[in-house]
Structures are given as structure tokens and as C-alpha cells.
Structure 1
Amino acid sequence: MSTTAKPALTIRLCEPRGFCAGVDRAIQIVVLALKRFGAPVYVRHEIVHNKYVVEGLRGMGAVFVRELDAIPDDGQPVVFSAHGVPKSIPAEAARREMLYLDATCPLVSKVHKQAMRHMRLGRQVLLIGHRGHPEVVGTMGQLPDGAVILIETEEDVAAFEPTDAAALGFVTQTTLSVDDTAGILAALQHKFPLLHAPSSESICYATTNRQDAVKAAAPGTSLFLIVGAPNSSNSKRLVEVAERAGASVAVLVQGLQDMPWEHVIPDTTIALSAGASAPEILTDAILEALRTRFELRIELVQTAIETENFPVMRSLRDVPLAKEDMAFVNGQGAAAQALIN
């Protein structure tokens, strides 16, 4: 009986990809809270922007709400998402004597502090970011109404006229495209030479690292797959970075169900990465599906090694997690490493 050899396909697998330390910490907080306090544990908004993660936590007993007024006074805790919240939210929780756990990424909290420092020094605060994104809402909500001016484009820079051009300070949303932000920042610095920078970089290490790996992997690829949610800012920026860096086609997929098989062409090179809130299990499923159809050659494109770890709050550190809980927190990825080895 004759057998037909599978066609060849080269995959450039980006590293780092997927969960960052801030996302990992936020998911841990919800899982640990469920272990300590039992269900339900309420979560204001999506803990991170990923449907798989949200549905998995919902299955464990998490209840996702838009606002605190949807939570009954039943004594159960509420978790604030990794994107951060305006100051009014914990203030309302405290007024209602709710037990709340703040899962804001420490790097987002750093941006909050940078913005408050600008204001404390008498500067008008400019926030480079995307209107309506939860992180932007949270950052603007650290200061009084009207104290933060949102800058989304270079056109916004051209239109902005400050009260005092010598008393301006900027911060940025952590998940922006490094290249896009550079253009807006250059326009700001050209128009306002005395603009004050934050004390350290606002765009987070994970965003920068994932974009650098995508830039390195993209040239000459026929398809670049980015695993992530359509409401994930950092994932959407990775698609844009891939297209600019040379990928013929770049596509955002939530998982295997979204695979654009018509763009997977034998004897070509494709690339694969994942946004900071996408668990490795979703990347694994795509790799396994590709392996059933093609003879795969894996090229690891590694541009950084991430060792960051953000511990959870002290009140949850002694809660033990079962092996299956740790697998969920860590994204349950193993197939990619097996293929590389």
C-alpha cells in the first residue's frame, strides 16, 4: 500500500510569546481566591482579555460583572482586573465594606504612579493610548476629571494647545506598539521641547519583547499567526508589527477554530506568536493541527529570556494549588517545547 508524504512547512515560533508575569499573577489571584474563599468570587470586567481564560475561571466559580452594583452584599470577594481601575472603584468597594483584591499588573500601577508624580510636580499629564481601553480608563481615573489629556494620534498632538508648554508630562498605555508610540512621542517632543518624560519606560517589557520577536520572525513569511483576543490591545499591535516587518499576511486568531487554512501554503514559511494574555494551550492546538497536515520544521526565534515574576498579595501566598490549577494558571502549554526538542 502506498503512502503519500505530507507536504513540508516551516514554522518560525516566536519566543517570548503568550502569558506575561502580570497576566499570570492576575489569573493566580482569581484561582487562589476561589480556593481560599470558595465560589463565587466576583471579577470586575475580564480579568485578562482572553475568552479561554475567562471561561475557564467561570467554570471554577468566578462571576464576571461589569460594575460593583451587580455584586450582592454576600461577603464574597471581588477581584479587579489586570488592566487597573479608577480610584473610584476601590473607594466604592471600601464604602460597601467589600473584600477586594487588586490584580492590577504592577507595571500598570507604575504608570499610575508616574502620572500622579507629574501632577504632584505641577505638570499637565498627557496619556498616549487608545480611548476606551480599560487600562486607559483606569489610568485617567487616578487623577481628577480633566487632569489627563488623551493623545491617540499625531493629529491629536497637532491640535493640542496646553496652558503651559513648559509644564507637561507624558505617560503611555503599557500595551502600545513601540513604533507607533515613537512617532507620536517624536511629534510631542518636537512641538513641546520641554516635555517631561516619566521616570522610566511606560510600555512594558512583555509588550516590547513580543514585538521584537515578531519583527525578527516576520521577514519572508507567507503568513503570520497571532494568537489573541480581538479586544486585546497588545495582540492587535502584534498583527500590525508583523505586517510592517514583512509578513505577507498577518492574522489574529482566538484559537484553532479561526485558522485561515487558505493562507497555509505548503513549502513556505509561516510564523506563530501569541499576545500576553493568550495561554500556551491555544498555540499548542494550532501546532498540533499543523503537524497532522504537514511535515513541520520548527525554527525558534528567540529575542529575549523573561524571568520576571510578580508575586500575589501576601494574604493569598499560603494557599496551596493542585497540579491541575497550576496547569491552568500557567496556560497548560507543552506541545511547542516537545516539537522544538
Structure 2
Amino acid sequence: MNPVKRDLTVLLTAPRGFCAGVDRAIEIVERALEKFGAPVFVRHEIVHNDHVVGRLRDMGAVFIDELEEAPDDRPVIFSAHGVPKSVPAEAEQRNMIFVDATCPLVSKVHVETERHSTQGLEILLIGHAGHPEVVGTMGQLPDGEIKLIETEEDAEKFEPQDPDKLAYVTQTTLSVDDTAAIVGILQRRFPNISMPHKEDICYATTNRQEAVKAIAPRAQALIVIGAETSSNSKRLVEVGERHGCRFAVLAAEAAHVDWDKLESVKPDTVGVTAGASAPEHLVQEVVEALKARYNVTVETIETAKEDVTFKIPRLLTA
């Protein structure tokens, strides 16, 4: 005799999953394969998700770590996270066909750094060392021109060359709350620091964090679908924990969720969301896995509507 399933409310956040920059990057690879045929080379993961990368690999995309691994006579695509200026410069020198899939919101940060540099300002980048986006942004200027600030402690200790000639930019996928704390320290210490004209943290990162904040007071547990390498997905877990979820976990897919640990929390309400590079079918697989274990009622909590789209490069639309 089958045991009676416990009742469980699943709070499904909206928005969740793919953002406009991820949609654009994936479409760029798909269109390049249609136009040029396989193989098309992609420098680094186009977005941080193994399922997305695997599907594109099956279609004929070849993912490489550095440009030197690509032949001169095949197209190459740069990932959504952005690349140092040296990379397209090398591609041009080799007369390669290349397409830049950098998210336009990351490109905006690149433009800001150049503007600050031409104004003679010392530039701080708030971000995580080693993340591809940070590597790309710091690579817009010569080595040493951009200083990385990772923590509140870094912000307290930093000593500028001139406190009145200082500017900051940020990685686009950070925690809104953590970044605000760091910015607050910089503004207290350096009142004349130049700020971005518009917030650098992207709309999708902000929206997904706000959605988690909205469900956290009701949910004893939170499942975030996303890759371990995805900065914005990791931040969603942190936001959930900070706002009261006893069990907040990042899982690449349903099979990676520790279901026994979830059950040990004895939740009556579980939140489900996805980072900006996680496809929707993975979310639905988690919902189905919950339905197999519980008597589930799904409630969608919508905190924002997203209608942002970004243009595809002209090379692929002609």
C-alpha cells in the first residue's frame, strides 16, 4: 500500500531562468551554425549551463578555452560574459570571422571603464576574482588600471592614488544587498567617487533576487536550478538563506537535489527558481520530482514582468 503523500505548496518564482542576454547568446550560436555550418568555435562556455552547452555541442559547436585552439578558417564566438580586448584584437590579426556574444549590459560596463579611464579616474571593479565577466572587464584596460574590490573589508582597506579621482563599476551578476554594502563604504570613505549613470547589476539578476525575497518568508526551503559556475544562481541561494530559508540549495537539475535532506526539514512550502542561464525544462523537472514525492499545489509568484530583448549582430541577420 502506497504511503499517503504530504501536502506541499510549491512557490514558483516569476521571472526565473533565461534572461535576454542568455537568449541572445544562444541564438547567436544557433544562427552561426545555420549560416556557416559546423563546426563553429566558441571561446569558453557561451553561458554557464551544461545542458545548454551540451545541446549546442550536439549541433556542432566546439567549445575552447583560448582562441589559439580555433583554426583561422572557421568562425569563432565570444561568450556572453565578455572578453578582454586582446581577444578580438587577436582574431582580427588572424583575419578570423568572429561574433561577439557579450551581453549588452556587460558591454555597458566595458564602455564605462573606458570613459572613466579617459577622464583620468582610478577605477574600482566590485566583483569576484576569476569570474569570466571580471576577467573580461579588467581586460578592457592595461594591467593594473582596474583594481578589484571583492568584500566590504577590501573597500575599507583600499587606498586610492587620489580620493577625488575615483570611480567604480560592478560585475552584473552580484548580490544587490552585498554590493550596496560595499558601495556604501566606498561612498562614505570617498564622497566624490563617480558612480554608474545606471545600476550595473543587470535587471535580470535584480528581478530574480527580488522574487526570492518575496517568497522566502513563506518557504521553509528553496531550490535554485543553476550551475555551480553561475554567479547569479549562487547569489539566489544566498538571498534565500539570508531571508529565512532553512534549506536553500543550488542544483544543476532534479537528480542533484538531496531529497532526503529536504524531507528532513519537513517543509510545507518550497520555493523553486532558476538562475539566468538555466533552461525552463529543468525547472519543470524539479516540479515533477516534487509531485512524485508530495501532494503538490503550485502557486506562481510574479514580482516583475520582463520584455527586454537584444539585437542579434548584423553579420548573422544579413
> Please, what TM-score do these two structures have when normalized by structure 1?
0.90
**Counterpart position of 2:205:** 207
Distance in structure 2 (CA, Å) of the matches to 1:267 and 1:8: 9
**Counterpart position of 1:272:** 272
**Structure 1 residue ranges, 4+ long, deviating more than 6 angstroms after superposition:** none
- Is the CA contact 2:220–2:267 (under 8 Å) kept in the aligned structure 1? no
Q: Which letter does structure 2 place at the counterpart of 1:92?
A: E
1:115 aligns with 2:107: no
> How far off its partner does 1:37 sit?
0.5
- Is the CA contact 1:223–1:263 (under 8 Å) kept in the aligned structure 2? no
> What percentage of aligned pairs have identical amino acids?
58
> How far off its partner does 1:155 sit?
1.3
Distance 1:4 1:257, change over 3 A: closer
Distance in structure 2 (CA, Å) of the matches to 1:239 and 1:317: 38
Distance in structure 2 (CA, Å) of the matches to 1:9 and 1:216: 18
Distance in structure 2 (CA, Å) of the matches to 1:233 and 1:36: 32
Distance in structure 1 (CA, Å) of the matches to 2:126 and 2:286: 34
Distance in structure 1 (CA, Å) of the matches to 2:128 and 2:308: 26
- Is the CA contact 1:220–1:248 (under 8 Å) kept in the aligned structure 2? no
Cα offsets for 1:38-65 (capped at 9, x unmatched): 1000000000000111111111110000
**Counterpart position of 1:290:** 290
**Counterpart position of 1:104:** 102
> How far off its partner does 1:267 sit?
6.1
1:198 aligns with 2:196: yes
Q: Which letter does structure 1 place at the counterpart of 2:258?
A: P
Alignment of 1:1-341 (within 5 A): 5-73=4-72, 75-265=73-263, 268-317=268-317
Cα offsets for 1:139-158 (capped at 9, x unmatched): 01111111101000111122
Describe the SS at the equivalent of 1:211: helix
> How far off its partner does 1:263 sit?
3.5
Distance in structure 1 (CA, Å) of the matches to 2:26 and 2:299: 30
Q: Which letter does structure 1 place at the counterpart of 2:151?
A: T
**Counterpart position of 1:323:** none
Describe the SS at the equivalent of 1:297: strand
- Calculate the aligned-residue CA RMSD, in Å: 1.3
State how many pairs are aligned. 316
Q: Which letter does structure 1 place at the counterpart of 2:116?
A: H
Distance 1:267 1:95, change over 3 A: closer
Distance 1:128 1:267, change over 3 A: closer
Describe the SS at the equivalent of 2:27: helix
Distance 1:85 1:4, change over 3 A: same
> How far off its partner does 1:5 sit?
4.5
Describe the SS at the equivalent of 1:170: strand
Cα offsets for 1:166-223 (capped at 9, x unmatched): 0001000000000000111111111111111012110000000000000011114221
Describe the SS at the equivalent of 1:270: strand
- Is the CA contact 2:105–2:172 (under 8 Å) kept in the aligned structure 1? yes
Provide structure 2 residue ranges, at least 5 long, that are not aligned to the other structure: none
289-298 or 199-208, larger mean C-alpha shift: 289-298
Provide structure 1 residue ranges, at least 5 long, that are not aligned to the other structure: 319-341
Distance in structure 2 (CA, Å) of the matches to 1:184 and 1:63: 39
Distance in structure 1 (CA, Å) of the matches to 2:257 and 2:139: 38
> How far off its partner does 1:135 sit?
0.3
